[in-house]
Chains A and B, each alone.
Chain A
């Protein structure tokens, strides 16, 4: 089936993230000085101005996290999503700290809840030569993640 959904633009600053996904690796940025995690690129807030930007390295991360908030789209605005409703879009706090957002798949929308443990699902889409990161319930995960902000 042809990919008719909007295609993410691969920004230079996030190219390693998208390349990692192709290899089914979930990469985040880690501060070279103190080990704090970030996504996307920013400066590490644990230091003064030096290093300001750039002393972060793309590092393999767990691809696991916990739902901070979510919603269920019941009315699709674009034809490409008409067959998907109702679908879940969630704000996810990754185990390492940063937040990311994606659809929660492989479960009934009504079964999704705040604090639900989730893990990344790599969906290869050859038509656009990309791998799109979705998330699904992480049934194996214990309730190990902390609620709230990093």
Chain B
């Protein structure tokens, strides 16, 4: 059963992002404030009130600096709503897209006709109440001096460079392009253009990962609302229909620890999304990639089928991504 054009996004909300609260005297907002702020912006965008969400769906993304297993319940409490279906997003940075499909499925099944999906984090202003680490991180990374995702992504980058011959200059071109796109976004935190020289001079953190390859933690909240087509037609904005979606976890079907660092699951999930939408690569005018780390952009472009594996790397990527510098 396809979810093609059976649900639509009807509103979204994005708080400003900041890195405040870690130093004395700086304003401090906690996770729940960003969560409520993003939810309110999404509701206003859609022309809804939180009363409209009672008996509807809530999809709450687990927040890493505040993790507890009953987070969707706590999020409903923070928002003061009474959802009929609660979903939790446990796929890290992929959760918002993952929950888009899950929310569409419960709407399509007739359980609810609206779902609010919301995420927030305040790593600078609110230190974790109980930070839970996966067992592999705790037992086989931290004792060996591993620093979280910087280290894991440097495995990806190192192996990718080895297999493809891609160089630091190629990765730099992608970083420059990604930053150029940030300059066009009024809500981006870093809006000053980046040069290839600045990229290459940035310090090595977990070699070959350097500072400007890294994900940048920030405080903030994001939310969107998805609705059935009937409900969408009653709201103020033109509905944006979901045409295709795919998800794949543990793509190598191996043990949880230490999978091949270049296997992402995007080949399978991307192909599922293209099939469901019944569109081809030529139909895609805008590509919103997950740009947590620069090498990950490259893996996505390849695994989504926008260029051949290990072919032309940086040049192809920059051409696909748009302006080069």
Instruction: From known contacts A42-B254, A74-B207, infer whether A69 and B145 are also in contact, taking CB-CB under 8 Å.
Output: no
**A98 pairs with B255, CB closer than 8 A:** yes
> What residues on B are CB-neighbors of A61 within 8 Å?
none
- Which of the segments B7-15, B30-38, B148-156, B314-322 contacts the partner chain? B148-156
**B144 pairs with A40, CB closer than 8 A:** no
Instruction: From known contacts A71-B206, A71-B208, infer whether A101 and B144 are also in contact, taking CB-CB under 8 Å.
Output: yes
Chain B min CB distance to A79 (Å): 11
CB closest chain-B residue, reference A150: B254
**A6 pairs with B254, CB closer than 8 A:** no
Chain B min CB distance to A27 (Å): 15
> What residues on A are CB-neighbors of B258 within 8 Å?
91, 98-101
**Any chain B CB within 8 A of the CB of A126?**
no
**Any chain A CB within 8 A of the CB of B269?**
no
**B207 pairs with A86, CB closer than 8 A:** yes
In the assembly, what is the distance between CA of A78 and CA of B260, in Å? 27
Mark each residue of chain A from 1 to 42: 1 if its CB lies under 8 Å from any CB of chain B, else 0.
000011111010010000000000000000000000011111
**Any chain B CB within 8 A of the CB of A45?**
yes
Q: DSSP class of B's interface residues: helix, strand, loop or mixed?
A: mixed
CB closest chain-A residue, reference B254: A42
In the assembly, what is the distance between CA of A131 and CA of B157, in Å? 31
In the assembly, what is the distance between CA of A15 and CA of B252, in Å? 26
**A6 pairs with B147, CB closer than 8 A:** no
- Of A40, A71, A76, A148, the residue contacting B158 (CB under 8 A) is A71
> What residues on A are CB-neighbors of B209 within 8 Å?
71
- Of B139, B142, B144, B204, the residue contacting A74 (CB under 8 A) is B204
Complex interface residues of chain B between 132 and 184 (CB less than 8 A to chain A): 135, 138-147, 151, 154-156, 158-159, 162
Most buried by A among B139, B141, B144, B146: B144
**B144 pairs with A149, CB closer than 8 A:** no
In the assembly, what is the distance between CA of A76 and CA of B135, in Å? 22
> What residues on A are CB-neighbors of B205 within 8 Å?
73-75
**Any chain A CB within 8 A of the CB of B217?**
no
Chain A min CB distance to B161 (Å): 9
**Any chain A CB within 8 A of the CB of B1?**
no
**A40 pairs with B257, CB closer than 8 A:** yes
In the assembly, what is the distance between CA of A75 and CA of B145, in Å? 10
Mark each residue of chain B from 192 to 228: 1 if its CB lies under 8 Å from any CB of chain A, else 0.
0000000000011111110000000000000000000
> What residues on A are CB-neighbors of B207 within 8 Å?
71-74, 86
**Any chain B CB within 8 A of the CB of A103?**
yes
**Any chain B CB within 8 A of the CB of A138?**
no
**A40 pairs with B255, CB closer than 8 A:** yes
Instruction: From known contacts A5-B145, A11-B135, A75-B205, infer whether A99 and B257 are also in contact, taking CB-CB under 8 Å.
Output: yes
> What residues on A are CB-neighbors of B261 within 8 Å?
68-69, 91
Chain B min CB distance to A78 (Å): 7
In the assembly, what is the distance between CA of A133 and CA of B122, in Å? 36
In the assembly, what is the distance between CA of A41 and CA of B255, in Å? 7
**A91 pairs with B155, CB closer than 8 A:** yes
**A11 pairs with B139, CB closer than 8 A:** yes
**Any chain A CB within 8 A of the CB of B94?**
no
In the assembly, what is the distance between CA of A77 and CA of B206, in Å? 11
**Any chain A CB within 8 A of the CB of B253?**
yes
Using a CB–CB cutoff of 8 Å, the interface residues on chain B facing chain A are 135, 138-147, 151, 154-156, 158-159, 162, 203-209, 252-261
5 contacting pairs across A/B (C-beta < 8 A): A8-B139, A68-B159, A73-B146, A75-B203, A76-B145
Give me the 4 closest cross-chain CB pairs, A-B, nearest first: A71-B154, A99-B258, A69-B159, A72-B207
